[in-house]
Amino acid sequence: EREAEEAADDFGGSLPKGSAAKEGGGAKEGSGGAVAFAMSDGETEELQGMLRSLVAERGKVREAMGWCITRSQYAADIVETVTEALTIAATPPPKKIARLYLVSDLLHNSSASVPNASSYRTAFEATLPTIFASVHSCRASLDSRMAQQTFGEQAAKLLRVWGAWSLFPPSYIARLERV
C-alpha cells in the first residue's frame, strides 16, 4: 500500500482542484447505443502533441492527466489515442513509461466527481492487454539485461499499484503480468 501512495505522489496521482468537464465536440453513438462525444481534429492534435512531448515528470504527467480528465466526455477517443501511442514499436522506453504513468493517473482519477471520468477505467480495461503486450515487446527489444530489468520493474510496479488501488480484479492484474 505504501508503494501505491509513493507512486501516486511521484506522478501526480490526484486531480487538480477546479477541474471540470468541458462541453464540446460532436456526439457519436458508442458501443451498446450509448452516446459518446468525438474530439475535434484540433483536440486530437493537441493530445497527440502532449503525448509526443510527455516525460516522466510529475508536473508534465499531471498536466496531461488534467487535460484528459477535463475532457472525459471524449474518454473513448482519448483512450484510443493513448493506446495507439503506447503501442508504437519505435517509441523509446522512457516515453512508454511516461505514457503508462498518464494511464495510471487517469485510472486513479477515474473515480473523480467529474462526469464520465469512470469511462477511463472501463475503456482502458479493454486496451491494457494490448498495451502490456507492446510493453513486453519493448522490454524484450532492449539491448542490455539491466535496461530490460529496469523497464520491467517500472511496469510491474504500476501493476502492483493498480492492484493496491483495487482498480481491477486480481485475476485481471495477473493476466497483465503474464502478457
Q: 128 with 82: CB under 8 angstroms?
A: no
> The C-alpha cell of 141 is what?
527489444
**CA gap 48, 52 in Å, rounded:** 6
> The C-alpha cell of 176 is what?
497483465
Instruction: Give the dihedral of Cα atoms 166, 64, 75, 96; nearest 10 deg.
Output: -70
- pTM of the shown model: 0.80
Q: What pLDDT is attached to residue 110?
A: 93
Q: What pLDDT is attached to residue 15?
A: 35
- Tell me 23's DSSP state: P
Q: What pLDDT is attached to residue 37?
A: 76
Q: 21 with 75: CB under 8 angstroms?
A: no
Q: 68 with 102: CB under 8 angstroms?
A: yes
- Tell me 17's DSSP state: T
pLDDT mean for each 10 residues of the chain (179 residues)? 42 36 46 64 96 96 96 96 96 96 96 91 97 96 95 96 95 93
Q: 87 with 134: CB under 8 angstroms?
A: yes
Scanning the structure block, which residue is given the C-alpha cell 501511442? 85
Q: What pLDDT is attached to residue 20?
A: 34
Q: What pLDDT is attached to residue 26?
A: 57
> The C-alpha cell of 106 is what?
487517469
Q: Give the per-residue SS3 of 84-105.
A: HHHCCCCCCHHHHHHHHHHHHH
